[in-house]
Amino acid sequence: MAKQKPEVIQTPFGRIQRIPVKTHVLKQGDDLIETVKRYAAPILQPGDILTIAESPVAATQGRAIPISQIKPGIWATILWRFVKKVPYGIGLRSPWSMQCAIDEVGLPRILRAALAGFWGKLRGRSGDFYRIAGKQVAMIDAAHTSGVKEFYECVILGPKDPDAVASQLAQALGCPVAVVDANDIFGCTVVGASPDTKPELVARAMRDNPAGQGDELTPIVILRPLPE
Q: Note the pLDDT tens digit of each residue in 87-136.
A: 556 788 899 999 999 999 999 999 999 999 888 888 888 778 888 998 88
Any idea where the domains of the chain sit in the sequence?
8-63+158-225, 66-156
Domain 8-63+158-225 sits in CATH at 3.30.1330.100
How much is the pTM?
Answer: 0.88
The string of pLDDT tens digits covering residues 150-193 is 999 999 999 999 999 999 999 999 999 999 998 766 788 999 99
Instruction: Give the chain's mean pLDDT.
Output: 90
pLDDT given for residue 198 in this prediction: 93
pLDDT given for residue 85 in this prediction: 66
Contact 159, 191 (CB under 8 A): yes
Strand order in the sheet with 220-225: 8-11, 14-21, 220-225, 49-53, 177-183, 187-193
| 122 against 43, higher pLDDT | 43
**Whether pLDDT at 1 is above 50:** no
